[in-house]
Structure 1
Amino acid sequence: MRTESIEIVLVNTTHPGNIGGVARAMKNMGLSRLCLVAPKQFPDPQAVWRAASAIDLLEQARVVSTLDEAVADSQFIVGTSARDRRIPWPLLDPRGCAARIGEHTDAGERVSILFGREDRGLTNDELKRCNLHLHIPSAPEYSSLNLAMAVQIVCYEVRMLAVADSLPAEADAQWDTPFATAANMERFYAHLEETLTDIEFLDPAAPRQLMPRLRRLYSRVRLDEMELNILRGILTATQQWVARAGSRAQPAKTDDGET
């Protein structure tokens, strides 16, 4: 995905702090092109304060008077919408929308993502200008999203697609220690069963399902070799304490063999 081809367009933003929050959200996710359509109050110290380390995006932002100016060079326009429309329109969630945006940027096209006013979003006429509508499926009990939050969600999905090739294929791909082998895990289970018997937690005559359940627990966790060594060290120390406690409990003998 060519993120440099994507522009975030804010239409008639009321609160300057939201503009700063949007700039910060964009920079967090690697986007840099911001366009402001007739903002109510900009430039403004609140925008600068909320932008934190993304002030450069505010300084480089395009400020235009109309939506026509904002999207004149765009070849694919996405409009965010929180409401159902009487006329069905192509509609996707942020993840699906990011995939579509990627297709267009990879083809060398310029993409605009429109976000409307804080109180009422984009108008029907503005949404008609869009090739695709984007809806964030928030909880129906409280569906209102802050403008910067909505931009963050969309930019995150764009970012995830842009860096997909550099992410590890599995969560454990960069683990610092090799995972335990099957043979070492079997030695651990034998050691664990022996120790549980020593401390009288496990009754060999009536083991029930204790060991199978512990096997399921550790199989679900997936121990690495270092973690396995730590656990076996704990088991060994436990056995040593049991042995010492047992020797102290033995009655002392006199020279004539009586206690």
Structure 2
Amino acid sequence: MNLDNIRIVLVNTSHPGNIGGVARAMKNMGLSRLYLVEPRQYPHEKATWRAASALDVLEGAVVTGALDEAIADCQFVVGTSARGRRIPWPLLDPRHCAERVADLSGREQVAILFGREDRGLTNEELKVCNLHLNIPTSAHYSSLNLAMAVQIVCYELRMLLDADRLSAAEDAQWDAAFATRDNMERFYIHLEETLIDIGFLDPAAPRQLMARLRRLYSRVRLDEMELNILRGILTETQKFAPRDDGLKVD
């Protein structure tokens, strides 16, 4: 992915504060190319105020008098759309759209269009797009602020860009090795023995208890330290429960 090949295009934006909010949302996620098609109020102090620490993105915005000028050199254009169209068009959600954009941006210029706050993009504007993007929302309240919509799309791009780093960081931060299958089996034996000792499990009528407990612990990957803690709790519990001679836990 090449974020420098991705531009956010705002068409005929009504409120200057939304332009500043979009600039901030873009900078949060590492995008910097902002195009403004016939903004109704720009430049404006409200845009500057809302941009906060993203003034570089705001001041670098390209203002054009027509959509064609903003996307003339683009090979792939995405248009955000909140409603279905009479003629079906390729339509994706932000996550799958980001995957497509990420792939193409390595070698092509990509534009993502956002329409007017009150009515979005017109049918004519959507016709110039290769793909339509729809952000799923609750049926009870589907209206999204312009900056929020841009933030969602930019966030999905950021997550793809940082996927390898985030995965490596997650693995690197864990402080103990995950438990081996052999040690987990020893734990299950110890757990079953303890439950019998305290009278919670009747071996004559187990009622799938151990199977369900196996399923419970399998949903979370225990590390060796966590496993040792649980084994220690079981050992201490057994000290307070009289038990018959049976299988000893090693």
Please state if 1:65 is matched with 2:43. Answer: no
Q: Within 2, Cα distance between the matches of 1:205 and 1:128?
A: 71
Q: 1:182 to 1:72 in 2, by over 3 A?
A: closer
Q: Within 1, Cα distance between the matches of 2:162 and 2:76?
A: 22
Offset at residue 41 of structure 1 (A): 2.5
Q: Which runs of 5+ in 1 are unaligned?
A: 244-259
2:246 aligned partner: none
Q: What is the root-mean-square deviation in Å for CA atoms of aligned residues?
A: 2.6
Offset at residue 171 of structure 1 (A): 7.2
Which amino acid counterpart does residue 40 of structure 1 have in structure 2? R
Contact 1:18–1:148 under 8 Å retained in 2: yes
Please state if 1:236 is matched with 2:235. Answer: yes
1:90 aligned partner: 90
Q: 1:177 to 1:70 in 2, by over 3 A?
A: same
What is the 5 A alignment of 1:247-258? none
SS in 2 for 1:168: helix
Q: 1:90-133 CA distances to partner (integer Å, 9 max, x unpaired)?
A: 333323333332343222x2222110100001112222232332
Q: Within 1, Cα distance between the matches of 2:230 and 2:21?
A: 47
Please state if 1:144 is matched with 2:143. Answer: yes
TM-score for both structures, normalised by structure 2: 0.83
Q: 1:180 to 1:54 in 2, by over 3 A?
A: same
Bigger drift between 94-103 and 140-149 goes to 94-103
Q: 1:195-220 CA distances to partner (integer Å, 9 max, x unpaired)?
A: 22332222344433322222221122
Please state if 1:227 is matched with 2:226. Answer: yes
Which amino acid counterpart does residue 223 of structure 2 have in structure 1? D
1:114 aligned partner: 113
Q: Within 2, Cα distance between the matches of 1:62 and 1:146?
A: 22
Q: 1:70-93 CA distances to partner (integer Å, 9 max, x unpaired)?
A: 223323222212222233333333
2:77 aligned partner: 77
1:182 aligned partner: 181
1:209 aligned partner: 208
2:130 aligned partner: 131
TM-score for both structures, normalised by structure 1: 0.81
Identity of aligned residues (%): 74
Q: Within 2, Cα distance between the matches of 1:204 and 1:128?
A: 69
Q: Within 1, Cα distance between the matches of 2:55 and 2:78?
A: 25
Contact 2:90–2:131 under 8 Å retained in 1: yes
Q: 1:201 to 1:42 in 2, by over 3 A?
A: same
Q: Work out which of the two has the higher radius of gyration on C-alpha atoms and give 1 or 2.
A: 1
Contact 1:168–1:174 under 8 Å retained in 2: no
1:255 aligned partner: none
Which amino acid counterpart does residue 98 of structure 1 have in structure 2? A
Offset at residue 25 of structure 1 (A): 1.9
2:3 aligned partner: 3
Q: 1:151-193 CA distances to partner (integer Å, 9 max, x unpaired)?
A: 1222223223333444538976863321112221222222222
Offset at residue 241 of structure 1 (A): 4.1
